[in-house]
Amino acid sequence: MIRLDYGWYQLVYYFLRMQRLKSTLKSNDLRIILIALCYYVSAQVGLWLSFPISKAAPLWPPAGLALALIILSGYRTWPAITIGSFIANTLVFLNLQVEFSFGLLSSLVVIAIGNTLEALFGYYLVLKFIKTKNPFVKTIHVFIFLLVALVACLIGSVTGTGGLIMNGIIKSTEFITNSSTWWISNVVSVLVITPFIISWSTRFKFKWNRLQAIEWGVFFSCLAIIIAILNYNPISETMQRSLPFLVVPFLLWLGFRFNLQITGTGILIVAFVAIFFTIKGTGPFYLYSEDSSLLLVQIFTGIISISTIILYATVYERTVAQKAMLKFNENLESMVKERTKELNEEVQIRRKTEEKIKISNRKLRKANIELDNFVYSVSHDLRAPIASVLGLVNLAKKEKDVEMMQKYLLMIAQSAEQQDTFIKDILDLSRNARLEVGQEDILFKEMFNEIFEQLKYGAENKRVTKEIKINQKHHFKSDSKRLKVIFNNLISNAIRYSNGKDPHIKIIGDIDDTIAKITVTDNGKGIPKKHLKNVFKMFYRATEDNAGSGLGLYIVKETIDKLRGSVNLDSQLAKGTTVTIEVPNLAETEEIV
């Protein structure tokens, strides 16, 4: 498809589009002179299209031109209509060889006033009922424009005929005949000339393709064929009268397929051709008298013009509605997609909120259970050592034997140590829940040696054999305090629950740039299988021998969860326990040199 912006019509375009002319020409007087000149030129065209004897014009171009220009340029240019009308009608009467007199001058003034009022009243009706400067884009507006033409043209025809009768130029008995001929001529002009001028007042941008070029060529070809047939003498009179109506489908096709500019041009060409052949005394519209021929060609011209424009307006209105519907559907689809997206986001937010609520509820239930267990355990495990200490103190006071007193003191120390261990576990649990996870460089081998060094004084004279194999080639970041709490609990449990022999603790670690996997294995008493699923619960004791607080493995599990790691425990009774821990590296690592 080729898009053509024609340059040859630019002068016509700027001349016809008075809104552009206003911005170009600063002087309103100059605009009035140009419009008056256009009026005069159109009158010359009207005289050229008039019958040779009666000088009656089937179509009076100044009437349609006046209404189009005043619609485009506004009512302030009405003096141009008056001046142009006065000059143009003077030309008409001179052409009719009417003797110039004061009466003729008065009639010319009245006719000019009537033509001016006709254009102003038509302009007023267009603005009031159509409310747009282009009344040819909606079907209802075209029908209103037809009524405007019929009503407004009465003013010019009646006023002009009255002026001629008043000054004795024509007889009063000719009022109806003269005014009706005048009225029809003006109406036809408004229906043919006004749409043509208004359509060409807009910028001509036509998307031309091969098919439309063929269609436009077919229209001209058919018009030429019809004209040629009309000039063929042997054709019958019936066929000759019928041929002009064959052009009607092609005009309707123009209105259906092309814009208003092309459609208006086609109407104007057909109208001028029909009028030209009629005034030359040939063609299907030429009858026995000029009056009959005049009326017939006017009816034909008016009907083809209004019918074609109505079809164009209907098609244009439908096209605009379809485009608006498509745009609405696109906007609707876009709105539906946006709303669907919003709903999906709302659903996701709601799901996340529900999930958070579920997690919060689980944590709350867990906290309530732990709180109940904590209250019970504190009331028991804290008071029991104190009660034991108080009882032993009372016995020691009454005891005279030094050896027994030392025995009592040892038992008091054991109770105090048990209570201290319990308080330490509670403090570790509290710190794990409150404090943020830290990031320090971890050297696992040094950390394990430090833990064993601290625990050797509480090993109850047990000789602990340790085996540490750590493969660490990358920097590893994690929370050192929490890791010490974890492994301190595991190693101290391995020592505490040894099988009576010297405990053997084996630690194997494999640390890469993403995760640290540590395995702690002992040769202790082991844990019965029925207790394995509960060992990580709060205050759960798998044995009563040398029983601790029941918080050790629970603290291990909670601390590892805080580090986003995992723990797995496997144990066999009388053979020992293996605990496997995996914790992630909390920072990007680089290889240790």
**193 pLDDT band (50/70/90 cuts)?**
very high
For residues 134 and 126, what is the distance between their CA atoms, to the nearest angstrom? 9
- Are 552 and 489 a contacting pair, CB within 8 Å? yes
Any domain includes 218: no
**Whether residue 145 has pLDDT greater than 90:** yes
Helix (H) or strand (E) holding 177: helix 175-199
Q: Could you report the per-residue pLDDT of 280-337, keeping only the tens digit for each?
A: 888 788 888 888 888 888 888 999 899 999 998 898 888 888 888 888 888 888 888 8
In the chain the first and final C-alpha atoms are separated, in Å, by 71
pLDDT at residue 8, as a whole number:
36
Backbone Cα Rg of the chain:
55
Any domain includes 390: no
Identity at 453, one-letter amino acid code: E
What share of the chain has pLDDT > 70, as a percent?
76
pLDDT at residue 79, as a whole number:
87
pLDDT at residue 21, as a whole number:
43
**Domain containing residue 552: CATH number:** 3.30.565.10
For residues 294 and 281, what is the distance between their CA atoms, to the nearest angstrom? 11
Any domain includes 492: yes
Burial class (CB in 10 A: 0-12, 13-18, 19+), 111: buried
Any domain includes 49: yes
Any domain includes 407: no
Nearest one of 2, 4, 94, 120 to 40, comparing CA atoms: 94
Least confidently predicted of 489-493, 517-521, 581-585: 489-493
Average pLDDT over residues 136-163: 91
Average pLDDT over residues 351-358: 87
Largest CA distance in the chain: 167
**9 pLDDT band (50/70/90 cuts)?**
very low
Least confidently predicted of 273-287, 373-387, 492-506: 373-387
Domain boundary among 207, 224, 246: 207
Average pLDDT over residues 565-575: 89
Domain boundary among 156, 191, 207: 207
Split into its structural domains, the chain has a count of 2
**3 pLDDT band (50/70/90 cuts)?**
very low
Nearest one of 341, 243, 254, 228 to 285, comparing CA atoms: 243
Least confidently predicted of 174-183, 187-196, 359-368, 429-438: 429-438
DSSP string, 436-493: PPP-EE--HHHHHHHHHHHHGGGSTT---EEEEEEEE-B--EE-HHHHHHHHHHHHHH
Average pLDDT over residues 162-173: 85
**Domain containing residue 94: CATH number:** 1.10.1760
Any domain includes 180: yes
What share of the chain has pLDDT > 90, as a percent?
16
- Are 471 and 509 a contacting pair, CB within 8 Å? yes
**Whether residue 195 has pLDDT greater than 80:** yes
Helix (H) or strand (E) holding 567: strand 566-572
Any domain includes 351: no
pLDDT at residue 417, as a whole number:
67
Q: Residue 270 CA to chain centroid, in angstroms?
A: 47
Domain boundary among 159, 181, 207: 207
Any domain includes 334: no
Least confidently predicted of 96-105, 463-472, 515-524: 96-105
Nearest one of 62, 42, 40, 60 to 51, comparing CA atoms: 60
**Whether residue 132 has pLDDT greater than 90:** no
Which SS3 state, helix, strand or coil, does residue 400 take? coil
Sheet with 566-572, edge to edge strand ranges:
465-472, 504-511, 515-522, 576-584, 566-572
Nearest one of 317, 299, 308 to 140, comparing CA atoms: 317
**Whether residue 592 has pLDDT greater than 60:** no
| Domain coverage including residue 475 | 438-584
Least confidently predicted of 64-68, 135-139, 239-243, 568-572: 239-243
**143 pLDDT band (50/70/90 cuts)?**
very high
**457 pLDDT band (50/70/90 cuts)?**
low
